[in-house]
Amino acid sequence: MNILLLGSGGREHAFAWKIVQSPLCAKLFVAPGNAGTADIAENVAIAATDFKAIHQFILSHSVELVVVGPEEPLVKGLVDYLHSQPETNKIPIVGPSQLGATLEGSKDFSKRFMLRNQVPTAAYETFTAEQIEEGLAYLETQSLPIVLKADGLAAGKGVLICQTLEEAKESLKEMLLEAKFGDASSKVVVEEFLTGIELSVFVATDGKSYKILPEAKDYKRIGEGDTGLNTGGMGAVSPVIFADKAFMKKVEELVVKPTISGLEKEKIDFKGFLFIGLMNKDGEPFVIEYNVRMGDPETEAVLPRIESDFVELLLGIGTGTLEDYDLRISSQYATTVVMVSGGYPGSYEKGFPISFPESSQNSVIFHAGTARNSSNEIVNQGGRVIAVTGLGDTLDEALESAFSTVGKISWNKAYFRKDIGQDILKLMN
């Protein structure tokens, strides 16, 4: 079948890499893609949010399956749009409806969903500009630190962890009264701070059945030892040692099952990937957030561990037949190291040619922000540029494979964290 994949990051290169390995894929198109997807599929110059152009392309290229990588088109209603057009109203799409995507698009909506369905999460209250006085008074009654979250999408920047009451009050005013995060902070969720170890859990669902994919740990900060500014993610490890069988059983019973049955009960159409950000607090899972897509760079560590046919999985999701899918996971370790442009997550220079090794033993090189220049050289084009995933029978081996390949990739001012996986190695010893 012809498949259309939307997006342009490392996550999408990993999706593409996995999709083209399947005998079910005749032709893969990626819109808009990057220099890595161009090598294994056909890039199409259409933005992932250009609904009309996507619809046209599906018709003109006999696309039979659409896979949506990022959240933006989902939150903007791509699935509802395609399903409202007569020619595409039955096409299988991996990605939830606009209402389903609200689980990521509105923190207040997702907190209310969790409460209605008894999913464990931090205590919270939501405030609007009209309720600023109540909000400030509420802060006085809470312990510190306290978490303030812009309700809407804020490019990963909308969460503030405030250490003092003064800082919390000031931030609440800036968010509600001065639109610190634009429209996204017209509502603010004020939430209890959870202590523990964070974990990303990925669930494939067709809205009725579900399959739990390998879990992963993400490294969000730019600096080693988890210091400095937040980024999209600087690395990932899968499996995660502190997510043992007993903990994952609790996650399934207390979080995954009530979430999926809540979607069904509330008639929220959700065929896609649900990414559950969790805190392991003394062995108990608490949901920090839902995302309605796979994580990046977690996908680059999770997908190489899936042994069963990936297109069959995608079809199971899109056609509502996931129950019949036999998910097989490799016991290998996968570790992903993200290489970024110097200066990221602040401003950075683009257009430096990237040199690659001839071979990459026991590792896979995924492209994120790369493009070809007019001389056909591959250059850095975004903040996160390359994600290298190393594989091995042990975490040590996987890390060695990843870093050995990273050491052979270079461009002017490239940066990466050398401590990916070290915290987990320590926990293991």
**Residue 36 vs 69, nearer CB to ligand GLY:** 69
The answer to whether 335 and 301 have CB atoms below 8 angstroms apart is yes
**Residue 97 vs 291, nearer CB to ligand AMP:** 291
Residue with tokens 């490019």: 155
**Residue 81 vs 193, nearer CB to ligand AMP:** 193
Binding pattern for the stretch 206-245 against ligand AMP, x by CB under 6 A and - elsewhere: ----------------------------------------
Q: Which pair of structure tokens corresponds to residue 424?
A: 């987990």
Distance CA 71, CA 41 (A): 22
Closest CA to 63 of 73, 55, 71: 55
Which range touches ligand GLY (CB under 6 A), out of 295-303, 320-328, 329-337, 404-412?
295-303
Residue 233 interacts with ligand GLY (CB under 6 A)? yes
Selection from ligand GLY, ligand AMP, none that 159 binds (CB < 5 to 8 A by kind) is: ligand AMP
Closest CA to 428 of 297, 273, 237, 254: 237
Selection from ligand GLY, ligand AMP, none that 296 binds (CB < 5 to 8 A by kind) is: ligand GLY
Residue 198 interacts with ligand AMP (CB under 6 A)? yes
For residue 380, the tally of other CB atoms under 10 A from its CB is: 28
Binding pattern for the stretch 72-111 against ligand AMP, x by CB under 6 A and - elsewhere: ----------------------------------------
Which range touches ligand GLY (CB under 6 A), out of 29-37, 99-107, 111-119, 294-302?
294-302
Distance CA 336, CA 281 (A): 25
The burial class, CB within 10 Å (0-12 / 13-18 / 19+), for 339 is buried
* DSSP run (H or E) holding 29: strand 27-32
Residue 288 interacts with ligand AMP (CB under 6 A)? yes
Residue 295 interacts with ligand GLY (CB under 6 A)? yes
Choosing from 147, 222, 385, 398, the residue that interacts with ligand AMP (CB under 6 A) is 147
Residue 277 interacts with ligand AMP (CB under 6 A)? yes
For residue 225, the tally of other CB atoms under 10 A from its CB is: 10
Q: Which amino acid appears at position 402 of this protein?
A: A
Cis peptide before 32 (omega within 30 of 0): yes
Which range touches ligand GLY (CB under 6 A), out of 262-270, 292-300, 327-335, 352-360?
292-300
The answer to whether 4 and 58 have CB atoms below 8 angstroms apart is yes
Choosing from 298, 300, 309, 312, the residue that interacts with ligand GLY (CB under 6 A) is 298
Q: Which amino acid appears at position 377 of this protein?
A: E
**Residue 26 vs 144, nearer CB to ligand AMP:** 144
Angle at 231 between CA 225 and CA 233, to 5 degrees: 75
Residue 312 interacts with ligand AMP (CB under 6 A)? no
Distance CA 318, CA 162 (A): 41
Residue 159 interacts with ligand AMP (CB under 6 A)? yes
Cis peptide before 23 (omega within 30 of 0): no
Site residues, ligand AMP (CB under 6 A): 122, 147, 156, 159, 191, 193-194, 198, 277, 288-289
Binding site for ligand GLY (CB under 6 A): 218, 233, 291, 295-296, 298
